[in-house]
């Protein structure tokens, strides 16, 4: 359950910070949200591992709906939530199904393969929908590239934690 809470909290925080950018000379622009959202991919895999595929889809739906509520309350721009809603549904579904196809493999391989599909898909969908027409195309491309790099790094760091790390932390 702690994995689901971390996942949902990370999606909310990421959407809130989606328009706050840092420029990295070698990697392009990276949103603060990228560092937060990188956590979600591996948390989604951890929920899949501990609670199963059906509960992953319930968690994704709850996160998407809570993000919609936050937008209605005026905390986040509609274009960000629209982009997030579409990206969460499509990229997280791709992640879930890829992870599920590789259940017989090691934890690391399941995470690596599912994230290799979902991270680029999420970055491309979200940034194209959120920023196309608002920012120059080269800036959007720079953001997409930077996000793929940084989300992959953050996701890999989170994935390297032992599978029961967060569960052990919440029990103490």
Per-residue model confidence as pLDDT tens digits over 92-117:
899 999 999 999 988 888 888 888 99
Is residue 112 assigned to a domain? yes
Give me the number of domains the chain comprises: 1
Cα distance between residue 91 and residue 126, in whole Å: 10
pTM for this prediction: 0.78
Looking up residue 27, the CATH number of its domain turns out to be 1.10.1760
Does residue 53 belong to any structural domain of this protein?
Answer: yes
**60 close to 89: Cβ distance less than 8 angstroms:** yes
Q: pLDDT per residue over 126-157, tens digit each?
A: 999 999 999 999 989 988 998 898 888 877 88
Query: Would 172 be classed as within a structural domain?
Result: no
| Nearest partner of 147 among 137, 139, 159, judged by Cα | 139
**In-domain check, residue 171:** no
User: Could you list the residue range(s) of the whole structural domain that residue 153 is in?
Assistant: 2-165
Q: Is residue 6 part of a domain?
A: yes
Q: Could you tell me which residues come within 8 angstroms of residue 164 by beta carbon, excluding any fewer than 6 positions away?
A: none
Q: How far apart are CA 54 and CA 131, in angstroms?
A: 32
């Amino acid at each position: 359950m702690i994995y689901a809470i971390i996942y949902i909290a990370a999606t909310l925080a990421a959407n809130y910070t989606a328009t706050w950018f840092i420029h990295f000379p070698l990697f392009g622009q990276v949103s603060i949200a990228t560092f937060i959202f990188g956590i979600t991919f591996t948390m989604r895999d951890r929920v899949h591992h501990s609670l199963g595929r059906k509960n992953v889809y319930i968690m994704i739906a709850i996160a998407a709906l809570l993000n919609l509520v936050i937008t209605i309350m005026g905390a986040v721009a509609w274009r960000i939530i629209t982009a997030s809603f579409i990206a969460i549904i499509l990229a997280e579904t791709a992640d879930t199904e890829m992870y599920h196809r590789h259940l017989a493999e090691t934890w690391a391989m399941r995470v690596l393969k599912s994230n290799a599909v979902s991270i680029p898909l999420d970055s491309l969908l979200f940034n194209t929908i959120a920023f196309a027409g608002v920012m120059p195309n080269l800036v959007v491309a720079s953001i997409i590239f930077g996000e793929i790099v940084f989300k992959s790094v953050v996701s890999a760091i989170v994935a390297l934690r032992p599978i029961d790390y967060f569960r052990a932390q919440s029990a103490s």
